[in-house]
């Protein structure tokens, strides 16, 4: 019996999409391991979902939602994840300059 692909949520399947030029969890884990942070794909997914939960929690609280199960459900929802990606992409599309260490930073 084959394993299902992705988690079926009300908003669709929560899978990693290349629509935003991103990496899948296995690729992220390989990159992190190469950089000295031993990681497998399940850990990469858990770290991603933990970050989504940190973003979802204060947003849910703004709307009076404090139930941890609802916050978890929001964090796992692909529509929420896509909205966070779009928001960060919009933030990064603003004016940039190169920092002294060669990294790119946003300027106001």
The model's pLDDT over 54-101, given as tens digits with 9 standing for 90+, comes to 999 999 999 999 999 999 999 999 899 989 988 888 887 776 666 666
Residue 9 contacts residue 75 (beta carbons within 8 Å): no
**Nearest alpha carbon to residue 76 among 62, 64, 100, 60:** 60
The residues spanned by each domain of the chain are: 21-106
CA distance 75 to 30: 24
Question: Over the stretch 10-41, which tens digit does the pLDDT of each residue have?
Answer: 666 555 556 667 788 899 999 999 999 999 99
Integer CA distances (angstroms), 13 to 2, 21, 50, 71, 78, in order: 17, 18, 18, 18, 7
The whole-number pLDDT of residue 89 equals: 81
Quickly count helices (H) and strands (E) in the chain.
Answer: 4, 4
Model confidence pTM above 0.85: no
């Amino acid at each position: 019996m084959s394993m299902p692909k992705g988690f079926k949520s009300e908003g669709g399947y929560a899978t990693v999409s290349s629509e935003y030029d991103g990496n899948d969890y296995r690729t992220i884990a390989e990159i992190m391991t190469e950089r000295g942070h031993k990681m497998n794909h399940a850990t990469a997914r858990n770290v991603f979902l933990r970050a989504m939960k940190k973003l979802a929690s204060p947003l849910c609280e703004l709307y009076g939602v404090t139930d941890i199960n609802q916050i978890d459900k929001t964090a796992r929802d692909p529509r929420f994840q896509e909205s966070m990606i779009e928001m960060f992409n919009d933030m990064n599309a603003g004016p940039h300059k190169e920092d002294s260490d060669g990294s790119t930073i946003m300027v106001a």
